[in-house]
Amino acid sequence: MAWAREFLQRCGVENPFLDAEVLLAHVAGLDRAGLYRESERPLSPEEARLFRQLVERRARKEPVAYLTGKKEFMGLEFTVTPAVLIPRPETELLVEKALALAGEISSRAAALRELPGAAPGFLIADVGTGSGAIAVSLARSLPAARIYALDCSPAALKVAKRNAQRYQVEDRVFFLAGDLLSPLLEAGLAGKIHLIAANLPYIPTAELSSLMPDVRCYEPLSALDGGPDGLFHYRRLIPQARRLLADPGWLLMEIGAGQGEEMGRLLAEEDWEYQIIHDLGGKQRVVLARRKRHA
């Protein structure tokens, strides 16, 4: 541990002490507290070799989550591979807002279900699902919901499926490969979705080269690049969402700091009402939108 801390610090890794602990705990099959409980236990030669390898990879800025294959999100442990973006704590805000809205929408959906010919159930779409962090967290907390998890990357969908199986929600989470929400429109679900959650790539292309090497060199570019102003995907998503949403229906989108004004303009142009929600650091983080009601 002392060697790893010192080595990672010398290589300019941001949190050398924490990373050394997490990697050693991973190799020894312990949690971090266990490292201190069992501090006298010697590592086997195989464990020592693996630890050294992981520390050397971390020194080259490979993210800890890819080295251990896991990341915590909403209190759950998600499998992650380099095919998916590592879920960020900031995205928990979007899930919390979705859960807060869900109570309101699902009770209305239940009332609607009683009408003959009405759409069945409470339907959610998670577009750009990646590891499935949003879809699986929502499915775990909302046992009455059915969730469509969409991504253009088949490799990402495989990881998301594993996470759904791990938390036994695979019977209510449906995985679809395709461009944005097109698979749902093609399946004839226009007007039927109650909530759309989107964490699509929103980093402006010109800013990609200034990201930390941990992100820039290891996370999939297709999960980061949002085009010239970062809003390339959201510009195409908004009209699709308009066709898919039920009434009432909500669209939740994660954005980057400073993108709220342009998003607001795009939504207002298409007759949506919206609210920009800030994260704990005071940065614009989530846009919550729904179609304007006309008296």
Q: Which residues contribute to the site for ligand SAM (CB under 6 A)? A: 84-85, 87, 91, 128-131, 133-134, 150-153, 156, 179-180, 199-201, 222-223, 233
Q: How far is the CB of 220 from ligand SAM (least distance, A)?
A: 6
Structure-token match 């207002």, residue found: 268
> Hey, how many other C-beta atoms are within 10 angstroms of the C-beta on 213?
12
**Minimum distance, C-beta of residue 150 to ligand SAM, in the bound complex (Å):** 6
Compare residues 19 and 219 and give the one whose CB is closer to ligand SAM.
219
The span from the CA of 69 to the CA of 82, in Å, is 9
At a CB cut-off of 8 Å and minimum separation 6, what does 46 contact? Answer: none
Q: Which is nearer to ligand SAM, 133 or 267 (CB)?
A: 133
Q: How far is the CB of 86 from ligand SAM (least distance, A)?
A: 7
Cβ neighbour number for residue 25 with a 10 Å cutoff: 16
In terms of CB distance, is 101 or 149 closer to ligand SAM?
149
The C-alpha atoms of residue 9 and residue 143 are separated, in whole angstroms, by: 45
Cβ distance to ligand SAM smaller for residue 91 or 106: 91
Residue 183 is inside which H or E element, if any? helix 182-186
- Least distance between ligand SAM and beta carbon 147 (Å): 12
Q: How far is the CB of 85 from ligand SAM (least distance, A)?
A: 4
Judged by CB, which is closer to ligand SAM: 133, or 251?
133
Q: Contacts by 54-57 with C-beta closer than 8 Å and gap 24+?
A: 54/23, 54/26, 54/27, 55/3, 55/4, 55/7, 55/8, 55/20, 55/23
